[in-house]
């Protein structure tokens, strides 16, 4: 039998792993948004280079080399990028004051440092140069690919982009829509998960509960003195007006502290490789009443369960169903790493112990009177608003030991840690998703506007031959919606694959939730329709005679 360390881990490896995965996720999403920005800038530079094709052809015709023209275009792009990067740094300096004031809802003090130092500035400079190269190099090479004579005859557009074919600009718009859909689908999953997390059955009542944490171990308390302190603290707190119940517990559910111990069950032979280490908590009398945890069978801990009495335990329903299916678990025995052989005296309802998304898992409780722990949390059920009790709780602890550090909060605030990934994901990915949608809409609008300007003469001919304004609108909108639908199709495939990586952060929703994907597709379809309708409306208002004179 393997026994884990007796002390609860305050910052468990699981949490560090989750934080690392979450940070990797945010970096990945940030990279996707950067890709969208690069595609948008590249699209604008492509349009700008096409509009300058006569100028570029002239430079090539009078002896300018292709490399020199490419350097000119890259330099122009770099100047614009430096200006944009400088504006971004100034904006980030303004935003750091606001971000530094954020305090994540976790049960330990967390200070967020958003100071911009030389490393961040160097990274920003490198990112600016790399994105400039990524955004400007392809348009520059493409603009200088044509023969000088063709460019001077203004045949470049007809030679490279014919009606009905997909050009590079169209491909960039499709990519923008696809990537934006992936980001927005991820944001939708986190929003749904956050909503589910606030409605999930925790197995205990978080309302009207206050928490007071004291750590006697680092204050030099030995066991006799520690037991005396905790007994006096419980007695004094229960006498406060407005306190309905109070009890000690080593671990508060859904926090950063957790503990597991290996067990062996009498009459049960584990299978090959079967997990026999389960979560546990050391709790005082009235614990289940204080947290509102239903007892399904047996009794709660009381004054009988103290030192010298037979060791006892209370298990949850999953524990009982796993080891004594269909039988009465009361009176059954199992051995733990601390406390020896324990007799089951009660069965508690299942709950959430480590994370909101966890499946029901075996869990057991041991009485504090039999299993002393130096660092405990006093949990108090209030008759009214729990925050109104915090000052009184602190005062009672200071009466017993004026020098003892005390941490006070409410259980609702403590549970902010449990939904922190969902809240951060919904906020950050929602912001990134909104930016992505805006950029995709601007990219589509820009491509369609440019296409209308390039096809002005064609539209004039169509209208002169009898095409109505509605026909012109439908022609332009149909083209824009085709690009959007291609991007949506690719984005759906990417979202199904990418959002599987989010499954560890989701609560009550699948990564391929059809409602979420359907809502995102509908949103993009509406945005694409709007982005295409504006150029279509402008095209339908063209004067055929004026349009023909532009030829």
Q: In the 8-state DSSP scheme, what is residue 258?
A: B
Is residue 372 classed exposed, middle or buried when 0-12, 13-18 and 19+ CB atoms within 10 A define those classes? middle
The rounded distance, in Å, linking the Cα atoms of 223 and 146 is 86
Domain end (from 399, 417, 435) = 417
Same domain for 479 and 507, yes or no, is: yes
Residue 542 belongs to what domain range?
170-198+421-551
Residue 479 lies in a domain: yes
Q: Determine phi and psi for 510, rounding to 5 degrees.
A: -85, 150
Phi and psi based region of residue 172 (left: phi greater than 0; alpha: psi -120 to 50; beta: remaining):
alpha
Domain end (from 400, 417, 434) = 417
Same domain for 343 and 477, yes or no, is: no
Q: Determine phi and psi for 292, rounding to 5 degrees.
A: 70, 35
Same domain for 194 and 292, yes or no, is: no
Same domain for 297 and 400, yes or no, is: yes
CA angle 315, 317, 319 (to 5 degrees): 60
Same domain for 186 and 213, yes or no, is: no
Q: How many angstroms from the chain centroid is the CA of residue 168?
A: 33
Same domain for 404 and 472, yes or no, is: no
CA angle 81, 87, 91 (to 5 degrees): 140
Q: Which residues contact 415 (CB under 8 A, 6 or more apart)?
A: 202, 206, 254
Q: Which residues contact 545 (CB under 8 A, 6 or more apart)?
A: 460, 464
Q: Which residues contact 152 (CB under 8 A, 6 or more apart)?
A: 54, 57, 58, 61
Structure tokens at 134: 């990524």
Q: How many angstroms from the chain centroid is the CA of residue 230?
A: 40
Same domain for 187 and 216, yes or no, is: no
Helix residue spans in 52-206 (DSSP H)? 53-61, 66-100, 118-143, 148-152, 156-160, 168-197
Same domain for 457 and 525, yes or no, is: yes
The rounded distance, in Å, linking the Cα atoms of 413 and 419 is 11
What are the average pLDDT values for consecutive 10-residue runs of the chain, which has 551 residues? 38 53 70 76 71 72 77 79 77 69 55 68 76 71 60 45 61 84 86 82 91 86 93 95 95 87 92 91 95 95 92 96 94 87 96 87 95 93 94 94 91 82 77 80 79 74 80 86 90 85 78 88 89 83 66 52
Q: What pLDDT sits at residue 182?
A: 86
- Give the SS3 label for residue 212: strand
On whether the CB atoms of residues 322 and 275 are closer than 8 A, the answer is no
The rounded distance, in Å, linking the Cα atoms of 543 and 247 is 82
Q: Whose CA is closest to 424, among 238, 190, 251?
A: 190
Q: Which residues contact 489 (CB under 8 A, 6 or more apart)?
A: none
Same domain for 369 and 478, yes or no, is: no
Residue 497 lies in a domain: yes
> Number of folded domains in the chain?
2
Q: In the 8-state DSSP scheme, what is residue 18?
A: H
Q: What pLDDT sits at residue 379?
A: 95
Residue 63 lies in a domain: no
On whether the CB atoms of residues 35 and 179 are closer than 8 A, the answer is yes
Same domain for 301 and 227, yes or no, is: yes
Q: What pLDDT sits at residue 159?
A: 42
pTM above 0.75, yes or no: no
Residue 163 lies in a domain: no
Which is it for the CA torsion 180, 185, 191, 194, positive or negative?
A: negative
Residue 73 lies in a domain: no
The rounded distance, in Å, linking the Cα atoms of 277 and 447 is 60
Q: What pLDDT sits at residue 8?
A: 41
Same domain for 223 and 271, yes or no, is: yes
Q: In the 8-state DSSP scheme, what is residue 508?
A: S
Residue 367 lies in a domain: yes
Domain end (from 368, 399, 417) = 417
Residue 249 lies in a domain: yes
DSSP 3-state percent helix, strand, coil across the chain (nearest 5): 55, 10, 30
- Give the SS3 label for residue 199: coil
Same domain for 425 and 410, yes or no, is: no
């Amino acid at each position: 039998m393997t026994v884990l360390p007796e002390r609860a881990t305050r910052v468990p490896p699981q949490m560090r792993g989750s934080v690392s995965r979450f940070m990797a996720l945010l970096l990945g999403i940030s990279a996707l948004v950067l890709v969208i920005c690069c595609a948008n800038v590249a699209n604008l530079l492509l349009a700008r280079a096409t509009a300058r094709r006569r100028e570029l052809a002239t430079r090539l015709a009078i002896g300018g080399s292709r490399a020199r023209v490419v350097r000119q275009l890259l330099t122009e792009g770099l100047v614009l990028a430096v200006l944009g990067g400088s504006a971004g740094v100034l904006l980030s300096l303004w935003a750091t004051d606001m971000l530094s004031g954020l305090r994540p809802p976790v049960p330990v003090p967390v200070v967020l440092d958003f100071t911009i130092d030389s490393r961040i500035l160097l990274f920003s400079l490198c990112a600016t140069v790399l994105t400039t190269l990524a955004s400007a190099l392809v348009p520059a090479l493409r603009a200088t690919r044509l023969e000088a004579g063709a460019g001077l005859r203004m045949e470049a557009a007809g030679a490279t982009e014919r009606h009905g074919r997909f050009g590079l600009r169209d491909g960039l718009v499709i990519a923008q829509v696809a990537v934006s859909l992936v980001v927005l689908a991820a944001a939708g999953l986190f929003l749904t998960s956050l909503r589910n997390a606030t409605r999930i059955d925790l197995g205990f009542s978080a309302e009207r509960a206050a928490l007071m944490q004291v750590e006697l171990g680092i204050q030099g308390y030995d066991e006799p003195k520690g037991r005396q302190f905790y007994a006096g603290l419980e007695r004094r707190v229960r006498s406060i007006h407005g306190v309905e119940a109070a009890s000690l517990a080593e671990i508060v559910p859904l926090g950063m502290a957790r503990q597991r111990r290996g067990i062996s069950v009498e009459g049960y032979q584990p299978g090959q490789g079967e997990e026999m280490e389960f979560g546990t908590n050391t709790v005082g009398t009235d614990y289940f009443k204080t947290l509102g945890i239903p007892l399904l069978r047996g009794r709660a801990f009381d004054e009988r369960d103290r030192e010298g009495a037979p060791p006892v335990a209370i298990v949850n329903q999953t524990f009982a169903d796993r080891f004594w299916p269909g039988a009465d678990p009361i009176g059954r025995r199992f051995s733990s790493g601390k406390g020896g052989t324990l007799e089951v005296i009660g069965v508690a309802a299942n709950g959430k112990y480590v994370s909101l998304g966890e499946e029901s898992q075996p869990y057991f409780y041991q009485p504090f009177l039999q299993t002393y722990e130096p660092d405990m949390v006093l949990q108090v059920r209030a008759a009214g608003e729990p925050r109104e009790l915090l000052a009184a709780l602190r005062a009672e602890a200071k009466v017993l030991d004026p020098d003892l550090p005390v941490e006070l909060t409410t259980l609702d605030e403590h549970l902010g840690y449990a939904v922190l990934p969902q809240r951060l994901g919904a906020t950050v990915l929602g912001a990134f998703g909104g930016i992505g949608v805006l950029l995709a809409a601007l990219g589509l609008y820009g491509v369609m506007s440019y296409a209308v300007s390039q096809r002005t003469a064609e539209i004039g001919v169509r209208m002169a031959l009898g095409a109505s304004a509605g026909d012109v609108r439908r022609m332009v909108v149909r083209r824009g919606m085709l690009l959007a639908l291609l991007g949506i199709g690719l984005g759906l495939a990417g979202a199904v694959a990418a959002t599987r990586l989010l499954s560890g952060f989701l609560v009550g929703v699948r990564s391929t939730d059809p409602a979420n994907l359907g809502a995102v597709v509908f949103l993009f379809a509406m945005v694409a329709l709007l982005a295409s309708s504006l150029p279509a409306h402008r095209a339908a208002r063209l004067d055929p005679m004026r349009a023909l004179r532009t030829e």
